[in-house]
Amino acid sequence: MKAVKAIYEKGKVKLSEKRAEQGPLEVLVVFPEPADDPWTEILNDPPPRPAFLKFVKACQEEIRHGKAKPLDLKDL
């Protein structure tokens, strides 16, 4: 099986790449879901609440003044 990129428009499929074999060939057409991109959901997340941003700034201040240290991922 070989995948070839194509554009589907108005009931027709137009190949974007040259095909290796001359037809006729049986094909399988797969239409990707529009929501397949995980970044779409991530980028559309609402911004953090002001109270959380205030907490983050306080934590960063404590780290700067040596009262706390950043979390080490190895400790998780």
> In angstroms, rounded to a whole number, what is the distance separating the alpha carbons of residues 52 and 45?
15
21-74 pLDDT, tens digit per residue, is 777 888 888 887 776 677 877 788 888 899 999 999 999 999 999 999 888 888
Residue 21 and residue 32: Cα distance in Å, rounded?
24
Mean pLDDT across the stretch 7-15?
Answer: 88
Q: What are the distances in angstroms from CA 2 to CA 16, 20, 32, 48, 61?
A: 14, 9, 17, 44, 56
Which pTM does this prediction carry?
0.39
